Amino acid sequence: MQVGVPKEVKVHEYRVGLIPASVRELVQRGHHVLVETGAGMGIGFPDASYTDAGATIAPDAAAVFAAADLVIKVKEPQPAEWAQLRRGQMLFTYLHLAPDRKQTEGLLASACTAIAYETVTDPTSALPLLAPMSEVAGRMAIQVGARCLEKEAGGAGILLSGVPGVSPGRIVVLGGGVVGSNAARIAAGMRAQVTVLDRNPRVLDALDREFAGRVATVFATVEAIEQAVIEADLVVGAVLIPGAAAPRLVSRAMVAAMRPGSVLVDVAIDQGGCFETSRPTSHADPTYLVDGVVHYCVTNMPGAVAKTSTVALNNATLPYILQLADKGFPAALAENPHLAQGLNVHAGHVVHPAVAQACGLAALPLPKVLGG
């Protein structure tokens, strides 16, 4: 199979769909890999490292899209990329279609087969291809939140760890899943005062056992969220409904009631955000103020630590990429029902029910797609 890797074009996005080690795995199985020149340069993978692994270097993205049967990316395709996709071509990347009607329409118009990392499941119903970036984003959330709390960055001038004689900062994490638990680990390690809110008692129990009381756990009612947010120095939005738009847990009124210089980090922004006042930002201009509260809503947070993120992502995606390359569509999805859950768009139709509902479109049933 012809596997293509274009260079990412989103602002300050240095990750790449395949690292040289992954290319080597594909080439050894008899596949041809075409990598756009400079695709991995930003994280220390020059073109020579790809040719050494057996890839061919393409002069531009157009050459990659024109030749590839399977396109491997990291971030959602941008408008210039939609136009280069075609019927019968597979796209495997993060899509986050629920809050993005324009991208959904662009993929539908292309008639390509778009498989999203974030909705692939495993036997436990977890999201194995979202998990690596969720781990990175959760840990980064505390790092960037700490920076935003500095006075120079618009924050209240609070050191999260505190010092002897001065109380530590108060961190509230909304959601105790992969993002939330990783945020809590870093926050607790910084000796901050940490509270995690979630609606799943089993999640709260697991966190309580892990942290042995060093992190407070609270059942997430509207009242509990409001009280915690208003008292917080840093709030991390870490909620996720697979394939669907994130629920808006923090209202504008709650934000207005927070102390000036407090910080919101919305890790859920890829799915629309969980704060009513959230809007997407970029690494070039990551923050803005609403009612004196600093908002950090970067849609590709792990891109800031691109080398770590790329290697972690490839560790997770490679087995699925090999299945798609070896078996093609629809055989790979028919044999692996967990990979099949990643199918969002096919031949001009939305397939994933949550995406269809969020975009107000009809869903083509998955069995009908895989049955031909």
**Tokens 């009631």, located at residue:** 257
Give ∠ CA 217-221-224 in degrees, rounded to 5: 60
The residue from 31, 96, 295, 352 that is catalytic is 96
The catalytic position among 100, 198, 266, 270 is 270
Query: With 0-12 CB in 10 A as exposed, 13-18 as middle and 19+ as buried, what is 218?
Result: middle
- Token pair listed for 272: 């629309």
Whether residue 290 contacts residue 261, with contact meaning beta carbons closer than 8 Å, is answered with no
Dist CA 363 CA 319 (whole Å): 28
Is 96 designated active site?
Answer: yes
Distance CA 26, CA 2 (A): 10
User: Helix H segments across the chain?
Assistant: 20-28, 47-52, 61-67, 79-82, 101-110, 131-148, 178-189, 201-211, 222-231, 252-257, 306-327, 331-335, 337-340, 353-359, 366-370
Sign of the alpha-carbon torsion through 81, 86, 87, 88: negative
DSSP class of residue 69? S
Q: Does 283 participate in catalysis according to the annotation?
A: no
Q: What share of the chain is helix, strand, coil (3-state, %, to 5)?
A: 40, 20, 40
Place of tokens 């738009």: 245
Nearest Cα to Cα of residue 108 among 369, 366, 361, 368 = 361
What is the token pair recorded at 146?
């700490």
DSSP conformational letter for 364: P
Determine the Cα–Cα distance for residues 55 and 72; give it in Å rounded to an integer: 14
Looking at the annotation, which residues are catalytic? 96, 270
